[in-house]
Structure 1
Amino acid sequence: MGVPVVGCLCDVCQSTNPKNKRTRCSVIFGLPEGNLLIDTPPDLRTQLLANGIGVIHAVAFTHSHADHLFGLDDVRLFQFYLGHEVPIYCEPNVDAKIRKVYDYAFSTESQTHVGSRPALDMREIGLDRFDVLGAAVTPIRLQHGPRFEVLGFRVGNIAYCTDVNHIPEESWSKLEGLDVLVLDALRPESHATHFSVEEAVEVAQKLGAKQTYLTHISDRLEHERTNAWLPDGIELAYDGLELPLS
């Protein structure tokens, strides 16, 4: 829902600490040949402006839920900067959802004007490593609840794993030797489709990344209080967080 949550009067939603102001999850990898955006949340335009991001050169999707997809129309601007369609990397089920939700982007009718619909270059990915913008990206299979599969992504020694409550056995090896792990931790209590804080800490300690940041966090987690009791090397992420890409 983002924080503050509409209509909520809890202390986190009423907080003046900017690190308790949370838009919906996304991340950008600054790669040798441009910016790779992971997911297009409904807050995308606001996020790009707030963080001084000029151009998106390609997009990859973890999955097709609304809070990770429904800002896709905002990428229509970048076709003008790039001079070509925006490359979109996703699994077939995400491709199908995009074509359904944004059917106008794939219309065969002539446009009334250039840019009247997003220009998207759909590129299928699976679990094999793929190259984009001068870098190798490794997809990681994750479970977002018992019946829904999503992807995490690793670039160099940073891995981004949002919307997960189970890591399949075959995926652990792709998460070894990390400098930074960004991991889902929705709230203190267990959840059907997300790691709790305790579960995320257990995963982080098992993987042994040098630093772990918890993301997709709800208004149940006040930034300073939560960080005060998290183990060393684990803390809450926040909007605008920048990390060196190794």
Structure 2
Amino acid sequence: MTATNLQQWISSPELLNKDTLYELRIALARYPYCQTLRLLYLKNLYLLHDDSFSSELRKAALYVGDRRALFYLIEGDKYVLRTETSAVGANQTLKLIDAFLSQSQTSGEVPPTSNHIEYTADYTSYLLKGDDNRTESPDVPKLHGHELIDNFIEKAKDQPLRIKPIEEDSPSEEVFPEVKDGESCFTETLAKIYIKQKKYAKALEIIRNLSIKNPEKNTYFADQIRFLEKLIINTKS
């Protein structure tokens, strides 16, 4: 292995194969504390789906100074840093709200463990990207309330929302059906329509009424009430 080979593997990890794995293993035996060699060796194992990848990953965590380097090395291709400098916060907030609303259309099945790991990895990478963006692009607007929304969505996985399907002729942005006491208009469906249209105060009023009418679900609705209250505060700040 030459210095030229090493530079090529660093710039083009897709060149790593069984032959490079052998060379990296020998070099790593001679220089066990070389972080670059260890990261390349780990990447090589990952690309070849080698059985020893898991054990080497745990070992690498002891030798690598910044564990974020491990994450970006293995999962970096799945994530692209944002380059837009305008409307980033607003667009991301809408995506997170859409994800929150989509929870109401899922079944009550508990997601498998592997999915939970993927969600955790995605959220971790999101935080890491947020740190990098703040360092490299100070002009990018800070996203208000993203942690609140993410936490609420994570809780919604364990307590899926059950609502009636939204009719095709859903209420418009300005016109909504009148709500009277004792009627079934105080539904989670209507609350989510208000959230979708950024009418958080009206959605909060509906959720509070649902909480009063369903005292056995106080804990469940309390999470939604706190979420909406904090979201209202963040949108005003």
Structure 2 length as normaliser, TM-score?
0.21
Determine which structure has more spread, i.e. the larger CA radius of gyration: 2
TM-score by length of 1: 0.21
